[in-house]
Amino acid sequence: MVERHGRVDGKVAIVTGAGSTPGPGMATGRATAIVLAREGAHVLVADIRPDRAEETRQIIQDEGGSAAVFIGDLTISADCEAMVRATVSEFGTVDILVNNIAAAMAGNVVDTSSNDFDRILNVSLRTTFLACKCAVPVMAAKGSGAIVNIGSIAAFRGGNYIGYATAKGGMHALTIDMAYSHGRQGIRVNAIAPGHLTTPMLFSNEGQTPETDFRQQLARASGLLGTEGTGWDVAWAATFLASEEARWITGVTLPVDAGVMAVTPLMMAPHVRTIPALDP
């Protein structure tokens, strides 16, 4: 039996990028869709891959939740408009929007091509802009709504992902400006900055496992808690920000990172176990 608390009971939520790359663990979009459904929301599962979206919908349905699927390319304005129309047609309104689509590739400003930079910004930032552009009027018409943008600590700390970092930095700026512009319409806009999560995407290359993948080991070692973060951690944070429990919170970026942003990279180097005392 799935425990339910009704945090978003009766609300209608859109979760973009709600499918999942095949592999061990739970992706943030899928986890968020599942948790919102467990907490009572009707969820539109939006993804570009029909098979992955349907898997998420089936999980929700098997648990007794309410979900529908929308397939589209949310870099295209018409598809975003169609997504919101489909949500209103299926469930009557839009109360919650979780923007979770992203693309990333390693590279600095010199070795990243302009085409790759544009593609990453289109996937990781333009989709958020367009989804908000289409959903906000529905929320504003009824005087309430909650938007949660899934950003990244990459916006605040270097890591040789220039396109991804730029897109996520833009997402956090968009969050603040939207909170300013739409607060008096009853719309709260917040963001989450996940840290080094263990998700299926980490193991998408053949031969990688949770035991051998270096990035997964780093995810555990880099945080203050010494434990792994998963898609579920982001999902619960997103559900909180979307709920009435966060009714007086807007314009905020919430780190979900086991404290990574609280320390310098040097102090969290994997080989560091203790901090030597300083002589007076």
Residue 24: other Cβ atoms inside 10 A: 14
Q: Catalytic: which of 91, 161, 164, 203?
A: 164
Token digits of residue 62:
């098997």
**What's the pLDDT at 199?**
81
Who's near 133: CB < 8 A, 6+ residues apart?
77, 80
What per-residue confidence (pLDDT) applies to 197? 87
Contact 67, 43 (CB under 8 A): yes
Q: What is the pLDDT of residue 277?
A: 43
pLDDT in tens, the chain (280 residues): 567 789 999 999 999 999 988 877 899 999 999 999 999 999 999 999 999 999 999 999 999 999 999 999 999 999 999 999 999 999 999 999 999 999 999 999 999 999 999 999 999 999 999 999 999 999 999 999 999 999 999 999 998 999 999 999 999 999 999 999 999 999 999 999 999 888 877 655 444 555 555 555 666 677 888 888 999 999 999 999 999 999 999 999 999 999 988 886 655 555 444 444 444 3
pTM equals: 0.90
Length of the chain: 280
Q: C-alpha distances in angstroms, 110 versus 13, 122, 167? A: 40, 20, 17
pLDDT of 279 reads: 42
Determine contact, residues 200/21, Cβ cutoff 8 Å.
yes
The pLDDT of residue 41 is: 98
Q: Where are the domains of the chain?
A: 12-268
| Number of CB atoms found within 10 A of residue 160's CB | 12
**DSSP structure string for 167-232:** HHHHHHHHHHHHHHHHGGGTEEEEEEEE-SB--GGGG-STT--TTT-HHHHHHHHHSSS-S-B-HH
Classify residue 237 by its DSSP letter. Answer: H
For residue 1, the model assigns a pLDDT of: 53
Q: Is 180 a catalytic residue?
A: no
pLDDT of residue 272: 45
- CATH number of this structure's domain 12-268, picked from the four choices 3.40.50.720, 1.10.630.10, 2.60.40.1180, 3.40.630.30: 3.40.50.720
For 13, 36, 126, 227, the CA distances from 49, given in Å and listed in that order, are: 19, 21, 18, 31
